[in-house]
Structure 1
């Protein structure tokens, strides 16, 4: 944990009375609803989030800096773009030189706790920096050995083989307990959210420290595979569709991309129902988390932030999952902030980014971190911040390298369709109030009028060459030219992590 940066604690007697003293808060909770896209959130699917928005501030034009977990979380933690923080498909480790949000809170006297249910957000990829405790939600007993291969066994033979291979990695008694939980005792339809909220509730009830706390939690339920509890699914499935029919649909985004199988419109409709049910389920867990904060007496003193890290394609634009493009379906995410100055039911439609959150959270907590502020490309969303004098006129997003790579797709499927080779490119996007422009390092480009074509179906780049030139210049002004941008080697992953990421559709 770095300790040389000059930061100021947000305790009651150390706050700057001349800087938003009435709007500082004691604690900060940051919740990421993994794979939550803005267009699928609302009063029907996410009533808890909707209530938070009615009591706090909803940002209706919020955008991730990247379309998948690793680079998006890295931007969220550092305030930098993927090409700046270096964590992406070509290099999967967060740059050690960058200051992280948890480090800022830790060095300011906060207790820092992380609960991750996505295997990208672990110490293996550099996300433990600043956390006193970063828990892995897929493990019932915390251990470095990952028994995920047992969970994913297709039959008894595979499960027994995986058990033989993994049981003696680390503590065999702990591994056996984790296997027993995953194979026998784990509730159906939950990917760690229920265990996470229970653990957080217990932690809040038993903690005896007077320090303020920073709590980060990632809920992964909306991620493939969509397997919500039956009672949730039945609320959102289309007429005539059964739970058994919907959950029997193959969910393998990379195989779908490579035309290893097809999905009909009717099946995509059922998959969208399952996805919405997953959002509803995790929204109830969000309500449990709020209830735990209320029961512990911490709610009124807590800045509570909820966002998606990226969205999802479920048949839109011919894609399934969240790779290979920068459509708004993937980068437009929900963002709600509650507490402190964000408690008046405000709805803001200005362009904001998730990488604005580090400066927003620190300013609201009364913390000054010059190093993070210097590296950050974000701006504070605090209502009284001087950064809000002029609304942002554009947001940016990047897809630095394909994930998984084309080589890995070839290794899995041997022969892949010609059009998949088009995805072997680097993409950047700029979105203004009027237009969205996307450019690739292979010459690919698209331009959309987002006012008349919000779903980005019609490319108008041929009709608006002057606008293309203008927005291309904006991209090159913000980043280096695409042709000179490079990617580094990927760090080596442990086998257990590879298995888990394959289960999530990344490999």
Structure 2
């Protein structure tokens, strides 16, 4: 059970409420004051972390790390097993057992009860549903093409009330504003909830804004601020945005088209920054801002043409791992930029310590380290990341595209990375490895693993000391792949080709 200590001394101040906002697919390299003035103001009033890293390059395993304080190979949630197992303690459970009201608003269809993320929430709302329902048509939203969307609709329509399901499909696919993927409705709902709630209990609020995720379709007024000179909104939004088809060379994108896509992506970040401003105003109007720790992070980054990739799969470059992270409130109020290496899985230890909550069960399982200025936890001298299984799988790519390029076949591997302040080393269970001196090669263009083989070996040894050797880990995953998942989840994953 969690305990709410309610400490409030000068050296270890606590807060009453905790708000965690995830900007889905937000990469650190694209964040600046012109783009995101609200986040910049929060950083000036709080504490920004310049070297914050995800544990994985995509939503499901990254959120699992945020919720449990564990690495992907520890929580086991990845492309080969897409369910957060019930024996893992979660951050919302810790807050709930400490007496907090726990509210979640998810605009990403992976973060739902179907994949094990509802535990501990009093209410976890689905932003793509016009009518909140236990029968979730999120498989339609996740479908990567019309065939998958149609199959998901056909197979799930009668799971529960077909009229409600049909209304939710129509809303998510045709009625929901094309320039908003749920952020506006989420902000409105949170404002209504805060305005009507009983204020006696502290609260933990989690919110995922998915706008920066493909497809980039920001409001026109935002897009026109960030598109390259001479590029029209119509031309930019007409560009095909299908990362897996791009990977498989079904179509190509020119440098100018990628420049327009980067403009749309930046516009999406600017739009969610506006929603951050609305959330802050809502908390101020409700009289809760001064008593709240407000945390904003990306769950992973994005490639928009960098390293030959589009999207956030199949690699562990910093482009998909380095994310924005800002704390504001409680002890995080000096505006000092911190440059130490931190991980998103450090959030549980930090949030609980700042809220004065101790949860022995969560603490026992985690690899989390508190970033609280009064914490006794050691600073990290390295961060780690993992890509446990390709997502989508190579089999699924072949099912969709037929013969796929040899380059794409090489993505059928498990990857791990270790990054210190000076070096970044990535290796795969197929013998792949890269070494970068990040101080002189921050964009990771030059592989020096052959020229500095001893350093590569030293960093690989550190990875094997922290985790099982890659080959052994892969064999273990194969042996344990047949994990029991709830029936509804199995059906949905099968529809989308994951099982």
Fold equivalence (TM over 0.5): yes
Give the direction of change, closer, same or farther, for the CA distance of 1:362–1:154 in structure 2 (3 Å limit): closer
Q: Report the counterpart of residue 53 of structure 1 in structure 2.
A: 43
Match of 1:191 in 2: 181
- Equivalent residue in structure 2 for 1:68, among 44, 48, 58: 58
Aligned match of 2:3 in 5, 8, 24? Answer: 8
Deviations 1:376-410 (A, max 9, x none): 1121000111115xx32100000011111111111
Q: Give the Cα–Cα distance (whole angstroms) in 1 for the partners of residues 143 and 331 of structure 2.
A: 49
Maintained 8 Å contact 1:119/1:497: no
Match of 1:211 among 169, 191, 201: 201
Residue 261 to residue 125, structure 1, CA distance change in 2 (3 Å):
same
* Pair 1:109-2:63 in alignment: no
Q: Which residue of 2 aligns with 1:256?
A: 246
Partner residue of 1:469?
A: 457
SS in 2 for 1:325: coil
SS of the aligned residue for 1:74 comes to: helix
C-alpha distance in 2, partners of 1:395/1:228? 33
1:26 aligns with 2:26: no
Query: What's the counterpart of residue 468 of structure 2?
Result: 480
By how many angstroms is 1:175 displaced?
3.4
Q: CA deviation at 1:470?
A: 0.9
200-209 vs 303-312, greater mean Cα deviation = 200-209
Which deviations, in whole Å up to 9, do the C-alpha atoms of 1:192-225 show, x marking residues without a partner? 0000010000000000141100000000000001
Note the 1:109-148 alignment, pairs <5 A: 109-147=99-137
1:438, 1:153 → 2: CA distance? 31
Deviates more, 1:91-100 or 1:329-338: 91-100
1:360 aligns with 2:355: no
2:191 corresponds in structure 1 to 201
1:20 CA displacement: 4.4
Q: 1:29 to 1:153 in 2, by over 3 A?
A: closer
Aligned residues: 491
1:416 aligned to 2:416? Answer: no
- Which shows bigger deviation, 446-455 or 95-104? 95-104
User: For the residues of structure 2 that align with 1:89 and 1:476, how far apart are their CA atoms?
Assistant: 22
User: SS in structure 1 opposite 2:313?
Assistant: coil
Q: 1:168 to 1:44 in 2, by over 3 A?
A: same
The Cα of 1:494 is off from its aligned counterpart by 6.0
- Indicate yes or no: 2:273 matched with 1:283: yes
C-alpha offsets along residues 444-469 of structure 1, whole Å, 9 cap, x if unaligned? Answer: 10000000000000000111111111
Pairing of 1:34-433 with structure 2 (within 5 A): 34-147=24-137, 168-179=158-169, 181-182=171-172, 185-388=175-378, 391-433=379-421
Residues in 2 aligned to 1:428 and 1:115: alpha-carbon distance in whole angstroms? 31
Paired residues of 1:145 and 1:496 also in contact (CA < 8 A): no
The answer to whether the Cα contact below 8 Å between 1:147 and 1:496 also exists between their aligned partners in 2 is no
Whether the 8 Å CA contact 2:47–2:328 is kept in 1: the answer is yes
> CA distance change for structure 1 residues 240 and 28 in 2, over 3 Å: closer, same or farther?
same
Deviation at 1:87, TM superposition (A): 0.2
User: TM-score, normalising length from structure 2?
Assistant: 0.93
- CA RMSD for the aligned pairs? 2.5
CA contact (8 A) 2:109 2:141 kept: no
Structure 1 gaps of 5+ residues are: none
User: How far 1:334 sits from its partner (Å)?
Assistant: 0.2
Give the secondary structure class of the aligned counterpart of 1:28.
strand
* Cα distance in 2, alignment partners of residues 183 and 88 from structure 1: 26
**The residue matched to 1:256 in structure 2 has which SS?**
helix
- How far apart, CA to CA, are the structure 2 residues paired with 1:92 and 1:152? 14
**Distance between the aligned counterparts of 2:192 and 2:129, measured in 1?**
17
Q: 1:98 to 1:345 in 2, by over 3 A?
A: same
Cα distance 1:186–1:316, how it changes in 2: closer, same or farther (>3 A)? Answer: same
Deviation string, structure 1 residues 244-270 (Cα, Å, up to 9, x no partner): 111111111111111111111110110
**Displacement of 1:95 after TM fit?**
2.3
Q: Does the 8 A contact of 2:103 with 2:122 survive in 1?
A: yes
Give TM-score scaled by structure 1 length.
0.91
Query: 1:332, CA displacement in angstroms?
Result: 0.2
**Residue pair 2:128, 2:168 contacting (<8 A) in 1 also:** no
Q: Is this contact kept in 1: 2:54–2:62, CA < 8 A?
A: yes
5+ residue gaps, structure 2, are none
Query: Is the alpha carbon distance of 1:152 and 1:436 closer, same or farther for their aligned partners in structure 2, counting shifts above 3 Å?
Result: closer
Q: Distance in 2 between matches of 1:151 and 1:356?
A: 30
TM-aligned CA distance change 1:109 to 1:410, over 3 Å: same
Per-residue CA deviations over 1:55-89 (Å, capped at 9, x if unaligned) read 00000000000000000000001110000001001
Shift of 1:18: 6.5
Instruction: Check conservation: 2:8, 2:14, Cα contact below 8 A.
Output: no
Q: In the TM superposition, what is the alpha-carbon distance from 1:372 to its structure 2 partner?
A: 1.2
Tell me the CA shift for residue 150 of structure 1: 7.3
> Counterparts of 2:146 and 2:374 in 1: how far apart (Å)?
59
Alpha-carbon distance in 2 for matches of 1:55, 1:497: 43
In 2, the alpha carbon distance for the partners of 1:78 and 1:374 equals: 11
Give 3-state SS (helix, strand or coil) of 1:278's partner: helix
Shift of 1:421: 1.1
Give the Cα–Cα distance (whole angstroms) in 1 for the partners of residues 429 and 173 of structure 2.
46
